[in-house]
Structure 1
Amino acid sequence: MADLDTLALALPEVEKSVEEGRPTYHVGGKYVCFHRRPRRDAVDPETGERLDDVLVFRVADQDMKELVLADDRGVWFTTPHWNGYPGVLTRIRELEQIDRDELEERVVEAWLTRVKKRVAKAWLAEHSAEPEV
């Protein structure tokens, strides 16, 4: 979670809010990534308890969502609540399986879906990346 905080807050215009200990990273009031409250659509398969450690990351589109979900490690998932919506989920405990570069990729991609295009282009140019927006 410390890496997530560092990576998200390093991006232009990202703000962090915390409600009941759950962080949300957003740009212009729209989420980039957030720690969601337990919901009945995400339960532990062994105990049936609602998952309390789910992070949601915005993705560019449905194609990117499918690509991320195809990861054979099983660290990314979705639930019926997110059907048709460009977002992927992971559990906080799974962050240890996601290296910092991959986490940065997810955070930057989520940020690119929300930030103004001129801000994204300037940041991408400064960081020698190709625009994906």
Structure 2
Amino acid sequence: MGRPATPDDVDRICGELPDTEFGTSWGDLPTWKVPRGGKGKMFLLYRMPHRTAVDPATGEMYDDLVVILTPTAAEKQALVDDPATPFFTIDHFRSYDAVLVQQSRLGELDVEELREIITDAWAKRAPKRLVREHLGDTGSPR
């Protein structure tokens, strides 16, 4: 395993991707979007504590969740089902292609794994031309 991922890596990776912008969505949720400007679409957001996301062990609301889009429902399920990753989902996101991860558990991934997952999220929302320019013809960082 390479260097363990940290919460700082999330913003660094998002900021290094082409034409990204940090702003807000759904009111005031801190959100990474692509492309910059009025047409930007969310690919990663920081979720505030909410009654729909509760730690089953403590009953407390999670206070450090990151929501990362996945390219497909199958990829979401693969990440959630893999016991080697810290990703999970909740009923609130049942029909939404995204995974959740606690910032406190990012160290269970290495930086390259996190970069791959965030880049996939970016590629789902970025204009196709931009994806081709950044990733080549495949449209996937893998």
- In structure 2, stretches of 5+ residues that fail to align are 1-6
- Mapping of 1:13-92 within 5 angstroms? 13-17=19-23, 23-27=30-34, 28-92=39-103
Q: Deviations over 1:55-100 (max 9, x none)?
A: 1000111111111112113500000001121000000101111100
- In structure 1, stretches of 5+ residues that fail to align are none
Secondary structure in 2 matching 1:113: helix
Q: Deviations over 1:30-65 (max 9, x none)?
A: 211111011112112232111111110001111111
| Cα distance in structure 2, aligned partners of 1:64 and 1:117 | 20
Question: CA 1:48–1:90 in structure 2 vs 1: closer, same or farther (change >3 Å)?
Answer: same
- Number of residue equivalences: 128
| Cα distance in structure 2, aligned partners of 1:74 and 1:67 | 10
Partner letter of residue 4 of structure 1? V
Secondary structure in 2 matching 1:73: coil
Q: Deviations over 1:92-111 (max 9, x none)?
A: 10111110001001110000
Structure 1 residue aligned with 2:4:
none
Q: TM-score, normalised by structure 2?
A: 0.82
> Which stretches of structure 1, 4 residues or longer, exceed 6 Å deviation after superposition?
none
